């Protein structure tokens, strides 16, 4: 059974700092990995999707990398801002089996302070 772990569970950084969020998964047979952002009481916003054949994806100040063989992904946030404060979730989709069934980590709660 696929298990997804995100460390740390919470992180507080000063504004302007570059930071890395970690996601690890136990079964490397994945089809893709998706990073999401969730604000308190809100739905999830998709940030980046990395297919299993890709090594990284970039969107603005965000860069996500994938090392499928070691079961790891990182989300790099450059020049963090208070507006980046949210919970960040990663989710993996298995390579086999029907449906786009994602397994989620429990998230990293990020706070960027002025």
Binding site for another protein (CB under 8 A): 4, 31-32, 34, 36, 41-46, 49, 89, 91, 93, 95-107
Give the shortest CB-60-to-another protein separation in angstroms.
Answer: 17
**Nearer residue to another protein within complex by CB, 11 or 49:** 49
C-beta neighbour count of 70 within 10 angstroms: 10
Give the shortest CB-53-to-another protein separation in angstroms.
Answer: 13
**Nearer residue to another protein within complex by CB, 26 or 45:** 45
On the 0-12 / 13-18 / 19+ scale of CB atoms within 10 A, 43 is exposed
Whether a cis peptide bond, with omega within 30° of 0, leads into 8 is yes
């Amino acid at each position: 059974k696929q298990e997804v772990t995100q460390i740390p569970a919470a992180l507080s950084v000063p504004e302007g700092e570059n930071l890395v969020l970690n996601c690890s998964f136990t079964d490397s047979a994945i089809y893709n990995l998706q990073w999401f952002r969730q604000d308190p009481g809100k739905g999830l916003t998709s940030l980046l999707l990395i297919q299993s054949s890709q090594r990284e994806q970039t969107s603005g100040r965000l860069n996500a990398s994938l090392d499928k063989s070691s079961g790891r992904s990182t989300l790099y946030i450059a020049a963090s801002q208070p507006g980046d404060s949210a919970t960040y979730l990663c989710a993996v989709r298995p390579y086999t089996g029907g449906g786009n069934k994602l397994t989620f980590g429990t998230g990293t709660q990020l706070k960027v302070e002025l």
